A and B are shown apart, each in its own frame.
Chain A
Amino acid sequence: MERIDILLSIVYLLLFPGFLFLFAFSLFTEYLDRKIYARIQRRVGPPFLQPFADLVKLSAKEDIVPEKAEHFMFTAAPLIGLAAIFAAFLYLPIVSTTGLHSFNGDLVVVLYLLTIPTLAMFLGGWYSGNVFGQKGGMRVASLLFSYEIPFFLALLTPALLQGSWKMADITRFEATHPLEFVVSLLGFFIGLIALQGKLERLPFDIPEAETEIVAGPLVEYSGRRLALFRLARDAEMVVGAGLIAVVFLAGPEPILPLEPVYLSWLVAALVFLLKTLFVIFLLILLKSAVARIRTDQMISFAYQWLIPLTLVQIFIAIIVRFFGGI
């Protein structure tokens, strides 16, 4: 691991491509999400700064903790969710082949960290003391496995092909072996669909189905806590899409050896952003073309289609490796 001096890592952590960047980029993707969704629906859509304005205004609103809610858990849930996502983001390789910190197994760590917001959502809903919140929390928990298993398995395919759990190795390998993308194409699409489920977006927005259980786990949230949850949701989209871009689309690679080194970082970050935005664009397209399905339909969809297909993908990966790899 190369040595970075302290000042640089603070800049990395807080400014670029750390928290501030993630914050801005999350709001930007929310803008894109809403704008493209609106344009597809022949609406005008929000102005550029709308997500930011929403966040600021929401933060200034009255923040109520219901009497029946468990105060500590109710407050902790959005913080835990947001913290986990921000932590996961630091491991993504954005400006160079590695994130802030890279080791063998960092892919698994990111996958685990990305599960935490879901749990936070469940806890927040469960402890809100509202029957809609609890119903939503139950739905979050019962749907967890239907997308989590295919998501994990699909994202492990490139790792299998390459033989390493390190994201830096995976992106390097993909940059040098473009055929790898073709082999893991199925996994890419499974990952996308599972990510859509993970982000609780249409057609899988079952836990917060507006017309059924109002807002599900978020029903009692207001003000700052709701703003945090919404920010966490946006950031989760960025990190989830970024992870898919890294694992399947080689992330910031190919990295050009430019002078000065800042320029190469900038180009790498730009490449990463474009790939992430491409993934997000696919997610938006999917969202605008479907209706919401039911809990039972989602579970049977996951177990009848997604998981078997993921196993097929893994089988393909093993075969390819057995015959000497790509």
Chain B
Amino acid sequence: MGYVKLPIGPQHPALKEPENFTITLDGERVVNVDIRIGYIHRGIEKLMETRTYTQNLYLVERICGICSYAHVYNFTQNVEEILGLQIPKRAEYIRTLFLELERLHSHFLWLGVAGHEIGFDTLFMYTWQDREVVQDLLEMISGNRVNYAMNAIGGVRRDVSQEHRKKVLESMDYLEKRAEFYKNVAINEKTILARAENVGILKPQVALRLTAVGPTARASGISVDIRKDDPYASYLDTPFEVITTDTNDVLGRVVVRVLEIVESIKIIRYLMEHLPEGDILKKAPRKIPEGESISHTEAPRGEDIHYLHSNGTEKPDRYKVRTPTLANLPATAEMLKETYLADVPIIVAAIDPCMGCMDRVLLLKDGQEKPGELISGEQLRRYGIKWYAERGWNA
């Protein structure tokens, strides 16, 4: 057949969000991969400039449907940094609890998605059922399953009661057993091994050069974890280990995530057993003084960086988000080289992509990328009228 170009996306069952991977195939072998992003840019950064800090708490949470809390944590940390506000210790612990619960449900979710990508739907159903346990905990404490609305500037909005603590600890015992089970499945199931071992190789030097972050980097033996490298929340108090493997392949990424589930469970246990007494919220002013702040956290998918520039009003002057998926995409293009078509979905899934969070605007002309060009709203309107007129579509 010669070379065939196969468009994976923007609409494709392997991708849960629209992005385009154009794959050049020689039979079943991948010769070349072109990644094009920009299909679901939502303009959240710009939108944030039009809203107050309190409103932005809820907007920033909606950057991502999975690691929503990592984003809102970054946002509050930025604002509190500029305010010079020290939040109560109990609030800090509760925030850490949410960060870790989120990591748990994100990793369980990922495990299921990875199973689905290689056609192992039974694993998918099993992990998603266990994820419900975490979701129930989140709902029990915060009242919400996905966008918890837990944070306020200066603390958290809801307290963790004695019953909550008991229930969380009980659930952790169950989840630990399940994590053990999934570890056994991942390293013993023959068909999983066949699909994950030596697939999507990312060498440590390459991972560093291409700025891989999170579990993707850790599976290449690079010990990066913001929780350890630059501790935030109460990670300084809690004992845990940074998991790395040196297999550099998809299997390594599975193992890292499964072991991180176990570490998260350890952290949550510690937090619940050592939860300090005290307030959970400090009053914060509506107007934020002029200043800038940068905050990064270890979201379930990797390092999540937020930048805030305030100008002394109720609204931010500039807000900037860099999510881990964007950092991992160059490495993905590298991993996809010289693989089989069948490996493409699992390799892309192995970075745990969240396309909607990371998307950027690309300016295209005749299908080619071209340097950016700023136009005013009025110009855009005129351009729109012209565009429709040329096609005879005038109303």
Contact = CB atoms under 8 A, between A and B. Distances in A.
B126 to A, nearest CB: 7
26 contacts: A41-B121, A41-B122, A131-B5, A135-B4, A138-B1, A202-B119, A203-B191, A210-B119, A211-B118, A211-B119, A212-B341, A212-B344, A213-B341, A288-B122, A291-B115, A291-B118, A291-B192, A291-B194, A291-B195, A292-B195, A292-B342, A293-B194, A294-B195, A294-B343, A296-B28, A297-B194
A222 interface: no
B14 A211 contact: yes
Contacts of A291: 115, 118-120, 123, 189, 191-192, 194-195
Nearest to B113: A211
B118 A292 contact: yes
A43 interface: yes
Contacts of B389: none
Interface residues of A, number: 29
Q: Label chain B's interface by main secondary structure.
A: helix
Given A41-B125, A135-B25, A291-B119, 12 more contacts: A40-B122, A42-B125, A43-B125, A135-B4, A211-B14, A211-B118, A212-B342, A290-B189, A291-B195, A292-B118, A292-B191, A295-B342
B295 to A, nearest CB: 35
Interface of B: 1, 4-7, 12-14, 25, 28, 115-123, 125-126, 129, 189-192, 194-195, 340-345
Nearest to B116: A211
Contact of B14 (A202, A212, A295): A212
Contact of B340 (A205, A210, A211, A294): A294
Contacts of A213: 6, 341
A138 B194 CA distance: 22
A207 B41 CA distance: 34
Among B121, B123, B126, chain A packs the most CB atoms within 10 A around the CB of: B121
Contacts of B118: 211, 291-292
A296 B192 CA distance: 15
Given A294-B194, A295-B340, A211 B117 contact: yes
B126 A210 contact: no
Interface string A209-225: 11111100000000000
Among B7, B189, B341, chain A packs the most CB atoms within 10 A around the CB of: B341
Interface string A157-187: 0000000000000000000000000000000
Contact of B122 (A132, A210, A289, A293): A289
A296 B4 contact: no
Contacts of A41: 121-122, 125-126
Contacts of B5: 131
Contacts of A295: 28, 340, 342
Contacts of B189: 290-291
A294 B28 CA distance: 10
A206 interface: yes
B6 A135 contact: yes
Given A211-B345, A214-B13, A294-B343, A131 B117 contact: no
A236 B5 CA distance: 33
Given A132-B6, A135-B6, A293 B125 contact: no
Nearest to A289: B122
A204 B317 CA distance: 55
A134 B116 CA distance: 23
A290 B120 contact: yes
A209 B195 CA distance: 14
Interface string A127-139: 0000110110010
A142 B115 CA distance: 25
Contacts of B123: 291
Contacts of B25: 135
Given A132-B6, A135-B4, A209 B28 contact: no
Contacts of B122: 40-41, 288-289
A123 to B, nearest CB: 16
A205 B29 CA distance: 18
Contacts of A131: 4-7
B138 to A, nearest CB: 21
B132 to A, nearest CB: 11
Among B129, B190, B191, chain A packs the most CB atoms within 10 A around the CB of: B191
A134 B190 CA distance: 30
Interface in A85-109: none
Contacts of B191: 203, 290-293
